[in-house]
Amino acid sequence: MQIESQKTFSEWLSDLPKAELHLHIDGTLQAHRLLSLAKKNDIALPYSTQEQVEAAYQFENLQSFLDLYYLGASVLIDESDFYHLMMDYLLKCKEQNIVHAEIMIEPQTYAPNGVSFVTMMRGFDRAIEQAQQEWGQSVALILSFLRHLDEDQCLETLEQARAFKQSFVAIGLASAERDNPPAKFARLYRAAQSQGYRTTAHAGEEGPANFIWDSLRVLNVERIDHGVRCVDDTALLNHLIKQQVALTVCPLSNTKLCVFDDMSQHNILDLLDRGLLVTVNSDDPAYFGGYLNENFLTLHEHLSMTREQALRLVENSFKASFLNDGDKVRYLEELSQAAKAS
Among 175, 281, 295, 298, binds ligand HPA (CB under 6 A): 175
User: Does residue 205 have an active-site annotation?
Assistant: yes
For the bound state, the minimum distance from the C-beta of residue 5 to ligand HPA, rounded and expressed in Å, comes to 33
Q: How many residues bind Zn ion (CB under 5 A)?
A: 1
DSSP character string of 192-204: HHHTT-EEEEEES
**Nearest to ligand HPA of 99, 105 (CB atom):** 105
**Nearest to Zn ion of 96, 253 (CB atom):** 253
The answer for residues whose C-beta is within 8 angstroms of residue 297's C-beta and 6 or more apart is 9, 10, 13, 290
Give the rounded distance of the alpha carbon of 202 from its chain centre.
Answer: 10
**Nearest to ligand HPA of 105, 277 (CB atom):** 105
C-beta pairs of 125-128 under 8 Å, 24+ apart in sequence: 125/167, 126/79, 126/83, 127/82, 127/83, 127/84, 127/86, 127/87, 127/90, 128/86, 128/90
Choose one: 74-82, 231-239, 254-262, 276-284; the region binding Zn ion (CB under 5 A): 276-284
Position 174 contacts ligand HPA (CB under 6 A) = yes
Amino acid at 43: I
For the bound state, the minimum distance from the C-beta of residue 22 to Zn ion, rounded and expressed in Å, comes to 6
Residue in 217, 160, 161, 152 with CA at minimum distance from that of residue 185: 152
C-alpha distances (whole Å) from 251 to each of 7, 95, 270, 280, 299 are: 24, 20, 13, 7, 8
Position 102 contacts Zn ion (CB under 5 A) = no
The answer for residues whose C-beta is within 8 angstroms of residue 322's C-beta and 6 or more apart is 102, 140, 169, 170, 198
Which positions from 261 to 290 touch ligand HPA by CB under 6 A, shown as an x/- string? ----------------------xx------
For the bound state, the minimum distance from the C-beta of residue 202 to ligand HPA, rounded and expressed in Å, comes to 5
**Nearest to ligand HPA of 257, 310 (CB atom):** 257
Binders in 213-232 for ligand HPA, by CB under 6 A? none
Which positions from 239 to 258 touch ligand HPA by CB under 6 A, shown as an x/- string? --------------x-----
Position 283 contacts Zn ion (CB under 5 A) = yes
Taken in order 288, 290, 296, 299, the sign of the CA dihedral is negative
Position 177 contacts Zn ion (CB under 5 A) = no
Position 26 contacts Zn ion (CB under 5 A) = no
Q: Which of 106, 205, 206, 315 is catalytic?
A: 205
Residue in 92, 95, 85 with CA at minimum distance from that of residue 14: 95
For the annotated catalytic residues, the residue numbers are 205
Residues that bind ligand HPA (CB under 6 A): 24, 27, 62, 69, 174-175, 202, 205, 253, 283-284
